[in-house]
C-alpha cells in the first residue's frame, strides 16, 4: 500500500534544481504506488518558459502538481508571504484529502510542515538540503554585521533546531552532515537520520560514445588537441569562481589550447568579467542549457571542476553536478571541506580534491589528474553506489513505508 503524501518545495519545478532533484525522485516514488501532491513556488519567467514540460512530466508520472507564484519583492516580506502561501495550500489539500505525512524539501517548507504536524498530528519528513541559515550567513546574504540580519539568523536557527528535534524522519545529503547533526546533540536518540546524496539519472547522464563526443566537440568548435574544462551549475555566493579561473590559467600553461565551458543558467557577465581580470577571457564559453541538453555538453569535456567555499554549512552539501559529471565518466577536480566530496573522489577514483587554493596545489592537482588510472567506464560504475537515482528512490521508498507503518501502528494505551 502506498502513502498519501503532500510534498512542499520552495524550488520550482521549472527551475533546474526542481527538474533534476525533485521530479525524478517523485516520478520514481509514484511508480512505487505512492500518491503525491506537489506544491512548489514557481518564478514567473521560468514558469512561463517551462511549465508545459514540467506539467507533462507530472501528468505522465501521476503526480498532482499545484504550482504557486514565487514572490521576490519586497525582501523579507516576500519570504513570509511565500511561506504562508505554501502552508495555506498544504492545509487546503490536507483538508480535501487527508495525507499520511508531509515531505518538505529544505528549511522553509519544513517550517510550514512543522505547523501541520503540530496542528494536525501529521508526521513530518524533513529533507534537510543544507544547514540553511548558516549557509545564508556564510554566503553573505545575511550580513551578520547588521542587526536585522543577526535577528533573522537567530530566528531561523531556532526553527532549524525545532525541525531537527521534532521531524519524524530526517534526510541529510552527506555522512559528514550526519556527523555534524550528531555533534549538535539536538535530535533525540532513536529518531532516524538517513543520508541520501543528490543523485543523478544514469540513463540520461550516459557514457558518451566516441561519435557523440566528436559531434559535441565539433558543435563547440574545439580543435582535436584542445582540452575542455567544464563547470556545471549556477555561480552563487559560495561558488569560488575566481579560484576556478586561477586553476584554469595554470591548466593552460600545460595545455595552451584549453578552453573553459561554463554551463550556467545565468551570470555570464560576472564570469566574463572575472575571466578578463585573469586574461583568459578569450578561452571562456558560457552557455545555458535545458537538463536534457547537458549530457551532450559534458560529452565534449575532458574534466569537470567545482570549487565551493568550504564553510561549516557545506558539511551537509552534496553538489548535484558531481554525480552528473561522474555518471558521464568525467574526472572531476574539486576541493576538500564540502560534504563527502573528498571521500567520494577517493572511493571512485573519480578525480582530485585540492587541499588549498594556490598555484602549488593546482600544479599538483593537474599532475594527479593526468595520472588517474580509472577509465571513464570505471569512474561511472564506481559512482553508481553513491549517486544512482534508483538507489535514492529506494531509500525514500523505505522512509515512506516506515512512516506509513508508524501511522498504522496501534497507539499504546494510557
pLDDT at 398 over 50: yes
How far apart, in whole angstroms, are the C-alpha atoms of residue 16 and residue 28? Answer: 18
Q: Which of 104, 100, 118 is nearest to 39 (CA)?
A: 104
Residues 155 and 215 grouped into a single domain: no
287: which 3 cell numbers?
Answer: 552557455
Order of strands across the sheet with 228-232? 284-287, 259-263, 228-232, 303-306, 332-335, 351-354
Q: Does the global pTM surpass 0.85?
A: yes
Quick one: pLDDT band at residue 108, thresholds 50, 70, 90? very high
Mean pLDDT, range 320-324, rounded to an integer: 96
Mean pLDDT, range 35-58, rounded to an integer: 96
4: which 3 cell numbers?
Answer: 498519501
- State in Å, rounded, how far the first CA of the chain is from the last one: 29
Per-residue pLDDT tens over the stretch 336-354: 999 999 999 999 999 999 9
Residues 143 and 277 grouped into a single domain: no
Residues 104 and 216 grouped into a single domain: no
Quick one: pLDDT band at residue 409, thresholds 50, 70, 90? low
Q: Which of 82, 103, 114, 83 is nearest to 36 (CA)?
A: 103
204 inside domain: no
**Residue 242 belongs to a domain with what CATH number?**
3.40.50.2000
Q: Which of 16, 21, 90, 85 is nearest to 53 (CA)?
A: 16
pLDDT value of residue 414? 41
Per-residue pLDDT tens over the stretch 162-209: 999 999 999 999 999 999 999 999 999 989 999 999 999 999 999 999
CA distances in angstroms from 353 to 188, 305, 307, 350, 365, listed in the order given: 35, 10, 9, 10, 7
232: exposed, middle or buried (C-beta count within 10 Å: 0-12, 13-18, 19+)?
buried
pLDDT value of residue 1? 83
Q: What are phi and psi of 309, to 5 degrees?
A: -55, 120
Residues 52 and 91 grouped into a single domain: yes
pLDDT at 413 over 50: no
Indicate the helix (H) or strand (E) that contains 87. helix 77-96
* Residue 80 domain boundaries: 4-199+388-408
Amino acid at each position: 500500500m502506498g502513502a498519501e503524501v503532500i510534498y512542499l518545495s520552495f524550488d520550482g519545478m521549472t527551475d533546474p534544481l526542481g527538474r533534476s532533484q525533485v521530479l525524478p525522485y517523485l516520478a520514481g516514488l509514484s511508480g512505487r504506488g505512492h500518491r503525491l501532491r506537489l506544491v512548489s513556488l514557481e518564478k514567473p519567467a521560468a514558469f512561463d518558459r517551462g511549465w508545459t514540460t514540467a506539467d507533462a512530466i507530472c501528468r505522465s508520472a501521476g503526480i498532482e502538481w499545484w504550482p504557486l507564484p514565487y514572490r521576490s519583492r519586497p525582501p523579507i516580506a516576500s519570504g513570509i508571504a511565500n511561506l504562508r502561501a505554501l502552508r495555506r495550500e498544504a492545509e487546503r489539500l490536507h483538508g480535501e484529502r487527508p495525507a499520511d505525512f508531509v515531505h518538505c524539501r529544505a528549511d522553509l517548507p519544513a517550517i510550514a510542515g512543522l505547523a501541520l504536524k503540530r496542528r494536525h498530528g501529521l508526521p513530518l519528513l524533513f529533507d534537510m538540503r543544507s544547514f540553511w541559515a548558516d549557509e545564508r550567513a556564510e554566503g553573505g546574504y545575511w550580513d551578520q554585521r547588521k542587526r536585522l540580519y543577526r535577528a533573522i539568523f537567530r530566528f531561523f536557527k531556532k526553527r532549524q533546531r525545532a525541525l531537527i528535534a521534532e521531524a519524524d524522519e530526517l534526510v541529510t545529503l552527506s555522512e559528514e552532515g550526519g556527523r555534524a547533526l550528531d555533534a549538535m546533540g539536538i535530535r533525540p536518540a532513536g529518531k532516524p537520520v538517513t543520508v541520501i546524496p543528490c543523485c543523478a539519472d544514469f540513463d540520461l547522464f550516459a557514457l558518451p560514445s566516441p561519435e557523440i563526443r566528436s559531434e559535441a566537440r565539433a558543435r563547440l568548435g574545439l580543435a582535436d588537441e584542445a582540452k575542455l574544462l567544464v563547470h556545471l551549475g549556477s555561480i552563487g555566493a559560495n561558488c569560488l569562481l575566481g579560484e576556478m579561473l586561477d586553476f584554469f590559467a595554470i591548466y593552460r600553461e600545460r595545455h595552451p589550447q584549453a578552453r573553459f565551458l561554463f554551463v550556467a543558467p545565468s551570470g555570464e557577465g560576472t564570469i566574463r568579467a572575472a575571466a578578463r581580470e585573469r586574461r583568459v577571457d578569450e578561452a571562456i564559453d558560457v552557455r545555458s542549457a535545458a537538463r536534457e541538453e547537458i549530457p551532450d555538453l559534458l560529452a565534449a569535456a575532458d574534466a569537470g571542476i567545482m570549487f565551493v567555499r568550504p564553510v561549516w554549512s557545506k558539511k551537509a552539501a552534496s553538489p548535484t553536478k558531481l554525480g552528473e559529471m561522474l555518471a558521464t565518466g568525467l574526472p572531476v577536480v574539486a576541493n576538500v571541506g564540502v560534504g563527502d566530496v573528498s571521500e567520494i573522489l577517493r572511493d571512485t577514483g573519480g578525480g582530485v580534491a585540492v587541499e588549498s587554493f594556490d598555484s602549488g596545489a593546482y600544479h599538483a592537482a593537474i599532475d594527479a589528474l593526468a595520472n588517474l588510472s580509472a577509465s571513464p567506464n570505471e569512474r561511472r560504475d564506481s559512482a553508481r553506489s553513491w549517486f544512482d537515482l534508483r538507489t535514492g528512490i529506494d531509500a525514500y521508498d523505505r522512509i515512506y513505508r516506515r512512516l506509513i507503518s508508524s501511522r498504522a501502528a496501534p497507539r499504546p494505551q494510557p
